Chain A
Amino acid sequence: MIRQEFRILRVDVSTGKGKIVLLGGRNEVAGGSGLAAMLYGRYGLPDKPWDDAAQPLIFAIGPLTGYFPLMSKMVCSFKSNYHNEYTESHAGGRAALSLRFTDLDALVIVGRAKKLSCLAIGTQALELKDASFLRGMDAEGSGKLIRKMFRDGGGHRSIMRIGPAGEGRLAMASINVDTYRHFGRMGGGAVMGAKNIKGILIHGDCDFPVPAGKAYSALYKDIYGKVTSTEMMRKYHNLGTPVNLAGLNDIASLPWNNLQRTADPAIASITGERFADETLLRNGACSGCPVGCIHIGFFREKMAVDNRYHYHQVAYDYEPIFAAGTMLGVTNTFDVLRILEAMEKAGLDAMSAGVALAWATEATARGLIAAKETVLPLAFGDAQAYLQAASHLGSGTTDFYKLLGQGTLRAAAVYGGSEFACVLGQEMAGYATGELFFAAQTLGFRHSHLDTGAYSYDQKNSDKDVHKAVDFLIADEPGRAFLTSMVGCLFARAVYTEEQLAECLAVIGFTGLAGSIPAASEHIRRLRWQVRAATGFSPENFSIPKRFYQVTTWKGPVDGGYMDSLKAEYGRKILELIGTVGITDSGPEKE
């Protein structure tokens, strides 16, 4: 329901008990990203390690979740085992609306369960069940059994779960959300694993009155029309994000073979069109989003000499294809899906896993590692090898893979080869667009290409004006932070302008927030950085590996001096932001 206070469920999984907490701060932090940062400021232990039992694992939604189209994502925040700093990851699926209809703005999980367990919450339910029998089970099989463990609301719930990678507390471990979406980045799966939580089920079945009058429904209809009947979202609806593969290859910005090159004629066999023509089985949507950008491909396996087949469904997007395809030199669409499925089952972030295996392949070619480390020889384009390597990586079957699963730079620190590790804070996103992107992702809040508009700036600007570029990043960030506080899909940036968001907030009763979006946006941006700084963030913690200085894009060879200046200036600006904000006082808890 529309309430100005945040309604939070804090569950201690060491006891299985929860507590409903009401907190203020709506007009300052809005929800989502801002709320998550505020909650970490309240419940987090900045000075303790990421896997301290008392560290919170936070899931937050925004004031518009469920009320408008595409307000369908959830923020997950935690102290990351990747860099031991505060971070966020975002996912769609059913999770956001499930939490909305559980009448919660956020779920905060603290403690460590005594046994591997599943947590189920609902409007009238809080249950922690022993799930020891799920130990080691992959994300797909776990989902099937969790559905059976909790019978109520079948077919209408959200189920988040981890695979072996999360149980093994790998820094590359993701949280699978409703089979086809993920809290992929920064090791959220490991945090669940550290809490001994295999799965989280959210069964939201309550309802709220809509605002009186016709204005709300009219505005909903207007926005629904924009996202379904205009060209604004067609890119995501049609080929989906893989439409970018050919375009980025054309401008020499698509990483190939561990970023040894940025374009390749082989793109012809691995474009968005090829995936759609050959593998696309069907489309899916996050709950509350009529765009339906989820593209689910299939591959089939022959299981006997006779014509006996079984088939598999795998969601694909631009960046998983980059990670399991071009980065590994794999150019068969079905092979890409096979590798992605292996990562999916293990519960690995596909981007990190793909980039890590690309590094391992080059390290093999350079003689730094051999089959005794990788179990089997790795070579660019060898899809069968990557299929097995992905499983080894996710399960940590050897000391080498256990180490690699903690991050490519950690493996490189032991075996050498950090200069060609494609790590920009975390294993890179699939945009080799140039200096600003490389610098911005290195320092980005969650090391996502969507942290900033740098990848887009690189594609449109060839000048080398450091201040103009960094001013662009700084000016652009508050709007993104506000939209991820709503928590809207960032694909909908063109629809949800500041004016549109103000109208949406006002019509459902958040008039105070509607009238203070610029101030709230700036406050949220700064608060997030400050919370991260409290956990140890400093620009000096992150460097740009040598490989990124050797890249050639449509603008020509990367200018190393320009890139260094961008990173230095962006870092300086972030430190300025960190130094000029006070942590939001959410007031006393009302219980």
Chain B
Amino acid sequence: MIADTSLPNKPEAPKMKQLTTPRLDQCIGCQSCALACARLVYKKLSWHTAGIRIHSAGGLSTGFVANRCLACDPAPCAEACPTGAFSSRRGGGVIVKADLCIRCGKCLAACPVEGICRDTLGNVYVCLHCGRCVDFCPQNCLEMVAVAGDAEGAA
């Protein structure tokens, strides 16, 4: 076997993870994931100000959708942010620095999938792809998947 000398001889980039919803058709609408995110990540009791939000689509007869960050890369919300509060996260998605946010809402407008939530004060909530919701889905709808990290895209 001939060695491929074109590849740089450097350590593999760290694996980043993304939250995915591969089995959302199993969702029963219990909201446990959203409550877990709000409780554990944002320290709130809420089914709304969380990184993942479960909605019915046209009534409870038609199943559920999860509004959440799809880990766009590049992230249009980060590109739209005028103050640098949003920056691209290695492996897709964004990192949000709340103290840099002016609550303008441009990130919400830029997100094509309603993945970002804003409370009545204008504070924004987005999935950090931390996976803390996964253990609180009784239906095994959610999964963390590893993706190759992209150092150049890191914040």
Q: Which residue of A lies closest to B56 (CB)?
A: A155
B32, A290: Cβ atoms closer than 8 Å: yes
Known contacts A124-B120, A155-B57, A290-B138; decide if A210 and B45 are in contact (CB<8 Å).
Answer: yes
CA distance A205 to B48 in the complex (A): 6
CB distance from B49 to the nearest CB of A (A): 5
Q: Which residue of A lies closest to B65 (CB)?
A: A155
CB distance from A240 to the nearest CB of B (A): 12
A69, B32: Cβ atoms closer than 8 Å: yes
Query: Does A143 reach chain B (CB closer than 8 Å)?
Result: yes
Interface residues of B in 1-49 (CB under 8 A from A): 28-32, 35, 38-40, 43-49
Which B residues are in CB contact (< 8 Å) with A100?
45
B60, A179: Cβ atoms closer than 8 Å: yes
Query: Does B73 reach chain A (CB closer than 8 Å)?
Result: no
User: How many residues of B are counted as interface, with CB atoms below 8 angstroms from the partner's CB atoms?
Assistant: 31
B57, A285: Cβ atoms closer than 8 Å: no
Query: Does A104 reach chain B (CB closer than 8 Å)?
Result: no
CA distance A208 to B35 in the complex (A): 12
CA distance A210 to B57 in the complex (A): 29
Which B residues are in CB contact (< 8 Å) with A289?
30
Query: Does A42 reach chain B (CB closer than 8 Å)?
Result: no
A156, B53: Cβ atoms closer than 8 Å: yes
A156, B29: Cβ atoms closer than 8 Å: no
User: How many residues of A are counted as interface, with CB atoms below 8 angstroms from the partner's CB atoms?
Assistant: 41
Which A residues are in CB contact (< 8 Å) with B40?
217
CA distance A72 to B40 in the complex (A): 20
Q: Which residue of A lies closest to B117 (CB)?
A: A205
A180, B60: Cβ atoms closer than 8 Å: yes
Which A residues are in CB contact (< 8 Å) with B57?
155
Which A residues are in CB contact (< 8 Å) with B58?
147, 155
Query: Does B55 reach chain A (CB closer than 8 Å)?
Result: yes
B55, A290: Cβ atoms closer than 8 Å: no
Bitwise interface map of A from 494 to 517 toward B, beta carbon under 8 Å scored 1, else 0: 000000000000000000000000
Which A residues are in CB contact (< 8 Å) with B43?
209-210
CA distance A124 to B120 in the complex (A): 9
Bitwise interface map of A from 267 to 306 toward B, beta carbon under 8 Å scored 1, else 0: 0000000000000001111111111101000000000000
CB distance from B153 to the nearest CB of A (A): 31
Query: Does A238 reach chain B (CB closer than 8 Å)?
Result: no
Which B residues are in CB contact (< 8 Å) with A291?
138
A288, B35: Cβ atoms closer than 8 Å: yes
B31, A287: Cβ atoms closer than 8 Å: yes
Which B residues are in CB contact (< 8 Å) with A285?
28-30
CA distance A178 to B120 in the complex (A): 25
A178, B30: Cβ atoms closer than 8 Å: no
CA distance A290 to B36 in the complex (A): 12
Q: Which residue of B lies closest to A508 (CB)?
A: B45
CA distance A280 to B37 in the complex (A): 31
B35, A66: Cβ atoms closer than 8 Å: yes
A207, B119: Cβ atoms closer than 8 Å: yes
Query: Does A313 reach chain B (CB closer than 8 Å)?
Result: yes
Which A residues are in CB contact (< 8 Å) with B38?
207
A156, B32: Cβ atoms closer than 8 Å: no
CB distance from A25 to the nearest CB of B (A): 23
* Interface class of chain A by DSSP: loop
CB distance from B106 to the nearest CB of A (A): 21
Which B residues are in CB contact (< 8 Å) with A180?
60
A67, B29: Cβ atoms closer than 8 Å: no
Query: Does A228 reach chain B (CB closer than 8 Å)?
Result: yes
A290, B44: Cβ atoms closer than 8 Å: no
Interface residues of A in 400-416 (CB under 8 A from B): none
Which A residues are in CB contact (< 8 Å) with B60?
178-180, 284
A66, B139: Cβ atoms closer than 8 Å: no
B44, A123: Cβ atoms closer than 8 Å: no
B30, A123: Cβ atoms closer than 8 Å: no
Bitwise interface map of B from 73 to 96 toward A, beta carbon under 8 Å scored 1, else 0: 000000000000000000000000
Known contacts A178-B60, A180-B60, A284-B60; decide if A292 and B47 are in contact (CB<8 Å).
Answer: no
A288, B55: Cβ atoms closer than 8 Å: no
CA distance A143 to B62 in the complex (A): 13
Which B residues are in CB contact (< 8 Å) with A179?
59-61
CB distance from B26 to the nearest CB of A (A): 9
CA distance A390 to B46 in the complex (A): 41
Q: Which residue of A lies closest to B136 (CB)?
A: A224
CA distance A205 to B50 in the complex (A): 11
Query: Does A220 reach chain B (CB closer than 8 Å)?
Result: yes
CB distance from B101 to the nearest CB of A (A): 17
CB distance from B5 to the nearest CB of A (A): 51
Query: Does A464 reach chain B (CB closer than 8 Å)?
Result: no
Which A residues are in CB contact (< 8 Å) with B65?
155
Q: Which residue of A lies closest to B48 (CB)?
A: A205
The CB with the most chain B CB atoms within 10 A, among A209, A220, A224, A290, is that of: A290
Task: Kindly identify which residue among A66, A143, A287 contacts B45, using a CB–CB cutoff of 8 Å.
Answer: A66
Interface residues of A in 212-254 (CB under 8 A from B): 216-217, 220, 224, 228
CA distance A183 to B65 in the complex (A): 27
Which A residues are in CB contact (< 8 Å) with B35?
66, 288
CA distance A71 to B56 in the complex (A): 21
A207, B49: Cβ atoms closer than 8 Å: yes
Known contacts A69-B32, A155-B65, A284-B29; decide if A101 and B120 are in contact (CB<8 Å).
Answer: no
Which B residues are in CB contact (< 8 Å) with A67?
45
Task: Kindly identify which residue among B28, B45, B54 contacts A292, using a CB–CB cutoff of 8 Å.
Answer: B28
Q: Which residue of A lies closest to B45 (CB)?
A: A208
Q: Which residue of B lies closest to A237 (CB)?
A: B138
Query: Does A206 reach chain B (CB closer than 8 Å)?
Result: yes
Interface residues of A in 147-178 (CB under 8 A from B): 147, 154-156, 178
CA distance A97 to B30 in the complex (A): 11
| 11 CB-based A-B contacts, threshold 8 Å | A147-B59, A154-B55, A208-B44, A208-B45, A285-B28, A285-B29, A290-B136, A291-B138, A292-B30, A292-B138, A313-B61
Which 7 residue pairs of A and B lie closest in terms of their CB atoms, listed nearest first?
A155-B55, A207-B46, A285-B30, A290-B138, A285-B28, A292-B28, A207-B49
Residue ranges of B at the interface with A (Cβ–Cβ < 8 Å):
28-32, 35, 38-40, 43-49, 53-61, 65, 119-120, 136, 138-139
Besides the contacts A101-B47, A156-B56, A292-B139, what 8 more A-B pairs have beta carbons closer than 8 Å?
A: A69-B32, A147-B59, A178-B60, A205-B48, A206-B46, A208-B44, A208-B45, A284-B28
